[in-house]
Structure 1
Amino acid sequence: MRKKNIYSICIGLPIFLILAFSIMAHASWVTGFDNFFEGLVHSIPNLQSIMHAITFLADTKVDLVWMLLIAVILWLKKQRPLSASIVISLVTADAFGWIVKHIIQRARPAAHLAADDGFSFPSGHTLGMAIIVFWLILILIPALVKNKTAKIWLTVLLAIWLVLVMISRVYLYAHWPSDVCGSVAMGLMWISLVDAIWDKVTPQTDKNNF
C-alpha cells in the first residue's frame, strides 16, 4: 500500500468512526460542534441563491454526470483502469453511504427543505463530491500533471470547491456540520481504500499511467 493511501486512511477512518459513533450515542460535544459551526455559517445572510447553485452542482445525480464525463474521456484516451477506478469508487461509496444512513438514521435539521428528504448522516452531496475531488487530487492529478505549481493550484482550487459544497449543505439546513465533516472523512478513507485494492488487482502497465 502506498504511503499516501496509508496516511489518508489513518486520517479519514478515525474521524469518520468518531463522528459516526458520537452521533449514534447523542454525544453532547457533537451538539456543541454543530451549534458553533451552524452559527458561523449562517453569520452571513442572503447567500441562498449562491448556495442553491453550489448544492445543485454537487447533487448526487450531477456527481454521476461528472463521473461519467471523466470516465468516458479516460476510456477514449485508452486509460481504462483509471476510467473504471472512478466509476467503482463513486458507486461503491454511494452504496456504503446509503447503508450508513440507514444504520445511524439521524434526522435532518428542522428547517431543511422538503426536497432534502431521508436521513442526515452522511451527506450524499458532500460524499459524492468528496469522492470526485479526492480521486482527482490523489490519483489523476499526480499521474497527469507534472508541474508542481500547477499541482498545488489545482489541489487548492478543488479543496476550496469541496469546502463550498460543505458550507452550502449546512447553509441550506440540509445537514448538520458534523454530517458534512463525516462525509469528507469517509470520502478520503474510501478513495484510498479503493485505490489500494485497485493497485493489487490491476496489472502495472503503461495503460495505468499517463
Structure 2
Amino acid sequence: MQKKNIITICIGLPIFLILAISIMLHAAWITGFDNFFEQLVHTIPGLKGLMLKITFLADTKVDLVWMLLIAVILWFRRQRPLALSIVITMVTADAVGYVIKHIVQRSRPLNHLAVDDGFSFPSGHTLGMVVIVFWLILIMIPVIVKSSTTRIWLYVLLIVWLIIVMISRVYVYAHFPSDVCGSVAFSVTWVGIVDAIWDKLTPRTQKNNF
C-alpha cells in the first residue's frame, strides 16, 4: 500500500467514525459544532440563488456525468485501468454512502428544500464531488501534470471548489456542517481504500502509462 493511501485512510476513517457515532448518539458537541458553522456560513445573506446554482453543479447525477466524462477521456487515451478506477471508486462510494445514510438515519435541517429529501448524513452531493476531487489529486494529476507549480495550482483550485460546494449545501439547509465534513472524511478514506486495492490488481506501469 502506498504512503498516500495509508495517510488518507488513517486520517479519514477515524474522523468519519467519530462523526457518525457522535451523530447516532446525539452527542452535544455535534450540536455545538453544527450551530457554530451554520451561523458562520450564513453570515453573508442573499446568496441563495448562487448557492443553488453551485449545488446543482455538484448534484449526485451531475457528479456521475463528471465521472463518466473523465472515464471516457481516459478510455480513448487507452488508459483503461484508470478509467475503470474512477468508475469503480465513484459507484462503490455512492453505494456505501447510501447504506450509511440508512444506518445513521439522520433527519435533514428543518428549513431544507422539498427537493432535498431522504436522510442527511452523509451528504451525497459532497460525497461524489470529494471522490472526484481527491481521485484527481491523489491519482491522476500527479501522473499527467509534470510541473510542480501547475500541480499546486490545480490542487488549490480543486480544494477551493470543494469547500464552496460544502458551504453551498449548508447554506441552502440541505445538510448540517457535520454531514458535509463526514462526507469528506468518508470519501477520502474510500478513495484511499479503492486505490490501494487497485494497485494490487493493476501494475503501476500499466495503470499510469501516460
Class of the TM-score when normalised by the shorter of the 2 chains: over 0.9
SS of 1:116 mapped into structure 2: coil
**Rounded Cα–Cα distance in structure 1 between residues aligned with 2:165 and 2:39:** 17
**Equivalent runs, 1:129-144 vs 2, <5 Å:** 129-144=129-144
Q: In 1, are the aligned partners of 2:143 and 2:208 still within 8 Å (CA)?
A: no
CA distance in 1, matches of 2:7, 2:80: 26
* Unaligned segments of structure 1, at least 5 residues: none
Native 8 Å contact 2:81 2:206 kept in 1 = no
Structure 1 equivalent of residue 19 of structure 2: 19
Q: Does 1:94 align with 2:97?
A: no
Letter in structure 1 aligned against 2:158: L
- 5 Å-filtered alignment, 1:53-132, equals 53-132=53-132
Describe the shift of the 1:169–1:207 C-alpha distance in structure 2 as closer, same or farther (beyond 3 A). closer
Give the partner amino acid of 2:28.
Answer: S
User: What is the identity, as a one-letter code, of the residue corresponding to 1:99?
Assistant: V
Contact 1:78/1:207 (CA < 8 Å) preserved in 2? no
Any conservation in 1 of the 2:55–2:169 contact (CA below 8 Å)?
Answer: yes
**CA displacement, residues 141-165 of structure 1 (integer Å, 9 cap, x when unaligned):** 0010010000000000000000000
Detail structure 1 runs of 4+ shifted over 6 Å in the superposition: none
Once residues 133 and 204 of structure 1 are traced to their aligned partners in structure 2, the CA distance between those partners, rounded to angstroms, is: 21
Question: What is the CA–CA distance in structure 1 between the aligned matches of 2:165 and 2:76, rounded to whole Å?
Answer: 30
The 3 A distance-change label for structure 1 pair 207 and 101 is closer
**Gaps (5+ residues) in structure 2?**
none
**Equivalences for 1:142-181 in 2 at 5 Å?**
142-181=142-181
CA pair 207-26 structure 1, distance change in 2 beyond 3 A:
closer
Structure 1 position 209, deviation (Å): 2.7
Deviations 1:169-205 (A, max 9, x none): 0000000000000000101000010000000011333
Measure the CA separation in 1 of the matches of 2:56 and 2:179: 18
Q: Matches of residues 27-46 of structure 1 in structure 2 within 5 Å?
A: 27-46=27-46
* Whole-angstrom CA distance in 1 between matches of 2:44 and 2:65: 31
- Distance in 1, matches of 2:187 and 2:205, equals 27
Residue matched to 1:184: 184
Change (3 A) 1:207 1:17: closer
3-state SS of paired residue (2:204): coil
C-alpha distance in 2, partners of 1:81/1:39?
A: 44
- SS of alignment partner, residue 78 of structure 1: coil
Q: CA deviation at 1:49?
A: 1.1
Residues 18-54 of structure 1: per-residue CA shift (max 9 Å, x gap) = 0000000000000000000000000100001110111
What is the TM-score when the length of structure 1 is the normalising length?
0.99
Matched-pair identity in %? 73
Corresponding letter in the other structure for 1:69:
L
Per-residue deviation at 1:208? 3.0
Stretch moving more, 195-204 or 82-91: 195-204
